[in-house]
Structure 1
Amino acid sequence: MTTIDSGVDTLADVTSSEDRLRRFLLGLPGVDQVGAEARAATLGTRSIKTTAKAYALDLAIRMIDLTTLEGQDTPGKVRALCAKARRPDPADPSTPQVAAVCVYPDLVATAKHELRGSGINVASVATAFPSGRSSLAIKVQDTKDAVAAGADEVDMVIDRGAFLSGRYGMVFDEIVAIREAAGDAHLKVILETGELVTYDNVRRASWLAMLAGADFIKTSTGKVSPAATLPVTLVMLEAVRDYHEATGLHIGVKPAGGIRTAKDAIKYLVTVNETAGPDWLDPELFRFGASSLLNDLLMQRTKLATGHYPGPDYFTLD
């Protein structure tokens, strides 16, 4: 566990200069790669049955940010996605709603209109998603446009080039600026862990994002391979756990990209419980960025209730 000598005061000092921030991040304990991967593999073998499985399936549905982030997205596609978010299984009204619908900024207003009164949040990617290669002024305006259109949550991307070249202060300052531009919207900071190369970098980027004001840290854009993995998510969960120990603040975690089956989702839920603790088994603190995952969760839910799987075309394809 990462130890902080004197809690919040020390962390405030850490961010007072780029030199102190650098020394803090480079001084974080290294991640035992073999140990992290072995731990994730062990947790991934846990199985749950019957009542516990039914609860886990419903919880996973409630944690989904139902997402469409394609160049061919249209208002019609977003309207259909919002209808599915409201009623994932029209034949079973007991099926819970998802946490949010995530779209590009120009489609936020459409999603907001379709989800009015549902309690489902609208999330928008911003800051020159997915590359993050634009000026800070453009990133700030991108964020303001999304929030003005009605986004409840903003998913920003960090400048991985700046991070990998050691310009931690620049990355920190950008997150702080986007945090301010987002106003009351929750800020999810995408690390793009597939480009960070090492678990040590994932730990450093996680702490950097939290110190700068992230409400969530998110693995990936879904546009880079590898996207979310269980060991990377484990490292991020350790980071939010340790940050909570140091500050008393709860920061969420969102794995995104490549999580397609109920079996995989349950592995993540077990890892959450065993690493960060049961407080994080809540959509306010853990989300799945996904599209196809929902269908498999619905199929498994129907199987558990009826004893048989529905046909492959029973649920809408996203």
Structure 2
Amino acid sequence: MSATTATARPTRNIESLTERAAALLGGTPDDETLRRYLNGLSGVDAVGLEARAADLGTRSIKTTSKVWALDKIVELIDLTTLEGADTPGKVRSLVAKALNPDASDQSCPRVAAVCVYGDMVPIAIEALGSAHGDPDDGGVSVAAVATAFPSGRASLAVKLADTADAVSNGADEIDMVIDRGAFLSGRYGVVFEQITQVKAACVRADGTSASLKVILETGELNTYDNIKRASWLAILAGGDFIKTSTGKVQPAATLPVTLLMLEVVRDWYRATGEKIGVKPAGGIRTSKDAIKHVVTVAETAGEEWLQPHLFRFGASSLLNDVLRQRQKISTGHYTGADYVTID
């Protein structure tokens, strides 16, 4: 399947997005207008948020539900390699793992995507072959990080060239980073403009578009209020997904942060009827933690978000633990138990 058909699902139209943003903001999305709108959002009750996350994290699930949850987690993983030492051979090995996560169990589903640097996109597409496609339809897509990932410290021209290069290489999805320095200094208009221009750079020559995930790098935003504002800003500017982290900064994806971002997309959906995706990335290494996130998605945004075009895990090591847990169940390790504890 070609790169342009791999993501057949439509992404958000930039022209209509600009019009909607202006209507919601009551004016041009400059620093003053955005500051008034974002600072007018209700503050986050940190104690309440963390208590809700803790409660969701204690939910027990039956053995049969755990089997479903583990397979669902696999289907939602963006299997990732983002190192300076990445080689074509390493990317091919990553793709082989994505296509056949458990060689001893052919019932194991494929992951949603492989996530690589832009220059490795053609290697990943070639290795996927006919399996390159929409993960909602059983294919595996190719995501590329861009915009001077992970720091975002580059001119807009460089960020746009980085994005355009990844898209021309065949990327189905672009994971961009926001300018955290601009955001933290209150230059919201700069962040908004960069996201909208990167969104425009995701458009291919045939008029289709790569999906855009906007990485907030929540570990650098310092407060829940900032994370909430950045989430709304990214959605207003055109992001198809909001993503927690690059995986290069700690803390990365935490359950309270994921819960907060899910509450934002839920509220956006209630206000507009439009569904935006969420991607926690970095630090989710165990099945236990991943299942907590699955429960949180279902209880907050709704079970309909548990599909690849609306929720992803950004991970490199999570898959191995999920496979270990699946193997324990298949070998009867949990036989006779109504409820299971995850190592």
Which residue number corresponds to residue 179 of structure 1?
Answer: 199
Cα deviation, 1:246-301, whole Å, max 9, x if unaligned, reads: 11110000000010010100000011111111121111101000011001111111
For 1:20, the aligned partner's letter is T
Equivalent residue runs for 1:282-297 within 5 Å: 282-297=307-322
Cα deviation, 1:53-85, whole Å, max 9, x if unaligned, reads: 111000000000000001111100000000000
Aligned pair in 2 of structure 1 residues 14, 215: CA closer, same or farther (>3 Å)? Answer: farther
Instruction: Provide the rounded CA distance (Å) in 1 between the counterparts of 2:22 and 2:273.
Output: 12
Which residue number corresponds to residue 253 of structure 1?
Answer: 278
Instruction: Judge which range, 299-308 or 282-291, deviates more.
Output: 299-308
Which residue number corresponds to residue 99 of structure 1?
Answer: 112
TM-score (norm 1): 0.93
Instruction: Provide the rounded CA distance (Å) in 1 between the counterparts of 2:333 and 2:79.
Output: 25
* Matched residues, number: 303
Contact 2:114 2:140 in 1 (8 A): yes
Tell me how large the CA RMSD over aligned residues is. 1.4
Cα distance, 1:12 vs. partner?
5.8
Aligned pair in 2 of structure 1 residues 69, 302: CA closer, same or farther (>3 Å)? Answer: same
Cα deviation, 1:127-178, whole Å, max 9, x if unaligned, reads: 0000000000000000000011110000000000000000000000000000
Cα distance, 1:116 vs. partner?
2.1
Equivalent residue runs for 1:1-318 within 5 Å: 10-11=23-24, 13=26, 15-118=28-131, 119-183=139-203, 184-308=209-333
Cα deviation, 1:4-26, whole Å, max 9, x if unaligned, reads: xxx98842635544322110100
Contact 1:190 1:218 in 2 (8 A): yes
Any idea what SS the aligned residue of 2:26 has? helix
Instruction: Provide the rounded CA distance (Å) in 2 between the counterparts of 1:13 and 1:253.
Output: 27
Cα distance, 1:125 vs. partner?
0.2
Contact 2:100 2:108 in 1 (8 A): yes
Cα deviation, 1:166-197, whole Å, max 9, x if unaligned, reads: 00000000000000001100000000000000
Instruction: Provide the rounded CA distance (Å) in 2 between the counterparts of 1:243 and 1:40.
Output: 20
Contact 1:8 1:246 in 2 (8 A): no
Instruction: Provide the rounded CA distance (Å) in 2 between the counterparts of 1:127 and 1:167.
Output: 18
Cα distance, 1:112 vs. partner?
0.9
Instruction: Provide the rounded CA distance (Å) in 2 between the counterparts of 1:9 and 1:274.
Output: 32
Instruction: Judge which range, 236-245 or 11-20, deviates more.
Output: 11-20
Cα distance, 1:226 vs. partner?
0.4
Aligned pair in 2 of structure 1 residues 198, 103: CA closer, same or farther (>3 Å)? Answer: same
TM-score (norm 2): 0.86
Cα distance, 1:107 vs. partner?
0.6
Any idea what SS the aligned residue of 1:117 has? helix
